[in-house]
Every structure is written in C-alpha cells, then in structure tokens.
Amino acid sequence: MTVKMRKMTEGSELRHILAFSVPLLIGNLFQQVYNITDTVVVGQYLGFEKMASVGATGSITFMFYTVCNGLSIGAGVLISQCFGADKTDDAKKYIANSAYCIGAIGLLISIISVFLAQPLLQLMGTPENVIADAADYMRIAVGGTIAVAAYNWINSVMRSLGDAKTPLLFLIIASLLNVVLDLLFVLVFNFGVTGAAWATVVAQGTSAALSIGFAFWKNPYFMFRKEHAVPNLKMLGKCIRTGVPIALQYGMISISMIFLQTIANGFGDVVMASYTATMRVEQLIQQPFLSLNSALSAFTGQNAGAGQSERISKGYRQTIKVCLIFAACIMVIFLLLNRNIINCFVSEQDVISTGGNALMLSCLFYPFLGILQVTRGLLNGAGDIGYAFINGLAEVIGRVGFGLILTAIPVIGSWAVWGTSCLTWLLTAVMGFIRYKSGKWREKCCIDK
C-alpha cells in the first residue's frame, strides 16, 4: 500500500474538494459508529435510563476532547500551508513539534479529567437515578483522552498533506472492533455502561496506533532527519498560538453544549433520553458538513500557502451549494420518517414522540448548520485564528442567551432544548458569512511566504 498525497493548488476546485471529502465522510460515518453503537447497545439492552446516563456525559467529554482537537486542527493549518508552499523541511518540523505539544497536553488532560468527572456531572444537575452510571462511563471515556489526542493529531496531519484515505482504512478497522467489543463487554461480560466506554477507548487507541505506525513506515513526510525531530521553541510557540484559538472555539462550543445538557436534565429522564437520541442523529447528519469543512480547510490551507485566494473563494461558493442540496434532502427524509429514526435507539413511546417532533424542528435549520461548518472550515484553513475565538464565543452567547429566554417562556417548555440549538446555528452561520464577505481572511496566512 502506498500513500497518495493530494496537491490542491491547481485543477478543478470542486473536484478536489469532493474527492477529498468522500473518504473523510466515510471515515466520519464510521467514527460515529462509536457513539451510535454505545447508544443503541445501551438503550436497547440496558434500558432508556442507562442510555440517558451515557448521553449526560457527551457534552463534558467533548469539552475535554476539544482542547486536543483544536491544537490538532491548528497544527494541520500550519502543515497544509507549508505543503502548499512546497516547504517540505518546515512541514516535517511542524509535524514533530505538534506531536510533542499535543501528546503532552493530551496526557495531562487524561489525568486531570478523571478527577473532575463526578463534580462536573453534579454541577450540571444530572438526576440521581443516572449520575452513578454516568460518572463511571465518563471516567473511562475522559481517561482515554490521550488516545483521542493521538488519533486527532495523526488524522489532522495526514489530511493537511492531502491524504484522507490512509486514516480511513484504520478507522474502519477500529469501528468494526468497537462494535464487537461493545457487544462482548456489555452483553457477554455484563460490564454495563462501563463496557461501552471501554470499547470506545480501546477502539480509538487502536486506530491511532495503527495510523501513526503506518505513517512512519510509508509517508515520506514522516521520514525525519535529526534536525526535523529536535524541539523548536519558535515552532512549538506557533503551534500553540495557532491551535489555542481554535481549541478555545471548540471548547466554548462544548461549554455551551454542557449548558444545553443542563437544561435538558432539568426536564427529566424522558427529555434526556430524547435529547440523547436526537444528538446522536444530529452527529450523524453533521458528518457530510464536517467532511466538507475538513476538505475545504485543507484546500484553503494549501492554496493560502500558495497565495491563491481567488481559488479559495471559488471553492467556497461551490461547496456551499453542495451543502444546501444535502440539507434539503435530509429535511424531506426527517419530516417523513422522524419517529422511525428515533425508534432505532429506544422503544419507549414517550421518548419516540418527543424525539421525533424534535427532529422535525431541527431539520428546518440544517441549511444554516451547513453554512456554519463550511465557512468555519475556510476561515480556519486560511489561518483566521482570531475569528475562531469570536465564533466560539458567539455559540456560548447564543446557547446561553437563547436557552435562558426560551426556558423562561412557559408555553415552550422542553422545546427550548432544541430551539436553542436551531437559533444558535442561525446566529453563528450569519456571523461567519459576514466574516467571509469582509475578506480579512485573505491576509491571515500563518507561515512566512
């Protein structure tokens, strides 16, 4: 097997973006098997209360994961811009130095987050009947942050070099392993919800180890000389300066999601289970948007390094059209089959009814979700890292503000949970589009040309 890296600085913009996004989409869909398998196995075999306990941890574990994910994306921006500018030695140095940075921080988070699991769940007002299982699940999930950090790092590096197919192969293997381990740990060994957590951590770690090992074996950008592997304070600093605003962006998004989970917790376990099911569906539906986000980010990074901003704009406009077509198709499906979709996760009729209606509401705002993700990909790839922080702050303000307003209106009730997300997508999509139209991102390339 050989490594094929895609240079996207010439040729059809949309062809590059779509060809690059297809393996990303397949990989993202397989990655969602992690969470969906946990939810289906726990919900169908252990009951909806156990499923609610797994769902209660999602926003917190995402918060811990986002720090490493943001740093990985920041490193990918630097590497893709060096790749587009044909600065091979600099790209290799950034690969090594980003590994030191992300590895150290991932290990630190793994240690600290285990002790914070129970206090954070209590702070969120998690109901007493689910908090014990939620805490057990979360300690294992966040304890595996180092595995998540390693996977996100290698994935971001390979994407920045135009290779989306290599990580996909090992992710498919790990996803299938996760399904087998979920069934084995939960149904055969009777580990309960902790079995689902262990299955995810082991599968994620396996994917990371295999991807990194293969990269050092086959990818020429991982064939270092001594000077490439020596820690470089300037490059370490640039990795941090580029990655931290993106990490803060995603970190603030996760904080706003914790706030929203807290609102859902206040409406009881039926709403919690409904919210968990709809979040799993939403995570699945977001994958095409996220794949186009990552593809456009790599495309933008390479072309920003090569100084081709008009090519970036053309690719952006074409990608937006693809997003809108997909959102329209999903809207039709969800309006017709919403209850059937929720029934895949749980059998309780109250949960199916609430979750089905929630899907009908959310799908109406999917066009804004697509615009939000694609615009974020362009701005991050261009190195517009200052706006990344502003964008994350807007999500916090949106979810907290809309959440407080909607919950204060009695007639809205539990619909405030899903209405808050919809209005936040609208707000941040409009803000991102305005930033794109301003053109300031054209001057934000992170590397010296």
The total number of structural domains in the chain stands at 1
> What is the pLDDT confidence band of residue 131, given thresholds at 50, 70 and 90?
confident
How high is the mean pLDDT of the chain?
A: 85
- In tens, the pLDDT along 133-142 reads 888 888 888 8
346: pLDDT strictly greater than 70? yes
**Long-range contact pairs involving 442-445 (C-beta distance under 8 Å, separation at least 24):** 442/309, 442/382, 444/304, 444/382, 444/383, 444/384, 444/385, 444/386, 445/81, 445/304, 445/305, 445/307, 445/382, 445/383
Domain-located, residue 5: no
Residue 293 lies in a domain: yes
Q: What is the pLDDT of residues 39-52, one digit of tens each?
A: 677 777 677 677 67
| pLDDT band with cut points at 50, 70 and 90 for residue 183 | confident
- CA pair distance 90, 80, nearest whole angstrom: 11
* 449 lies in some domain: no
With H, G, I as helix, E, B as strand and everything else as coil, classify residue 86: coil
Determine the average pLDDT of the residues in 257-272.
80
- What pLDDT, in 10s, does the model give residues 286-299? 889 988 998 898 89
The DSSP secondary structure of 187-253, one letter per residue, reads: IIS--THHHHHHHHHHHHHHHHHHHHHHHHHH-GGG---HHHHS--HHHHHHHHHHHHHHHHHHHHH
pLDDT at 93: 92
263: phi > 0 → left, psi -120 to 50 → alpha, else beta; which? alpha
Residue range 310-342, pLDDT digits in tens: 999 999 999 999 999 999 999 999 899 888 888
- 3 lies in a domain? no
**pLDDT at 92 exceeding the cut of 90:** yes
Please check whether residue 385 lies inside any domain of the structure.
yes
- Where in the sequence is the domain holding 308, given as residue range(s)? 13-443
6 located within any domain: no
Is residue 2 situated within a structural domain? no
pLDDT at residue 123, rounded to an integer: 81
Q: How far apart are CA 37 and CA 280, in angstroms?
A: 10
For the entire predicted model, the pTM comes to: 0.79
Residue 433 CB coordination number (10 Å)? 16
Contact 170/211 with Cβ under 8 angstroms?
Answer: yes
Assigned domain for 1 exists = no
Q: Tell me which H or E stretch contains 105.
A: helix 88-123
